[in-house]
Amino acid sequence: MNMETFRKAYGYFIRNTAQGSAQLLVFTTPDSLLRFPGGTVEDGEDLLEGLKRELREETGISDFKVLHKLGVHAYYKPDVHKYVDRHDYLLQATMPLPDYHAKRRQRQRHGLCLRWMNGEETNQLDWEFKEYLTAEYIPEFFPARGD
Strand duo 64-77 + 38-40: pairing: unpaired
CATH 2.60.40.1480 applies to domain 5-130: no
Closest by CA position to 24, among listed 86, 67, 57 = 67
The answer to whether 84 and 4 are in contact (CB under 8 A) is no
pLDDT, position 81: 87
pLDDT, position 145: 54
Instruction: Spell out the domain ranges in the chain.
Output: 5-130
Q: Which helix (H) or strand (E) holds 54?
A: helix 47-59
Place 112 in a pLDDT band, splitting at 50, 70 and 90: low
Read off the pLDDT of residues 39-61 as tens digits, 9 standing for 90 and up: 999 999 999 999 999 999 888 89
Q: Which residues pair with 12 in a beta bridge?
A: 90
Contacts (Cβ under 8 Å, ≥6 apart) of 107: 59, 60, 98, 100, 113, 114
pTM (predicted TM-score) = 0.87
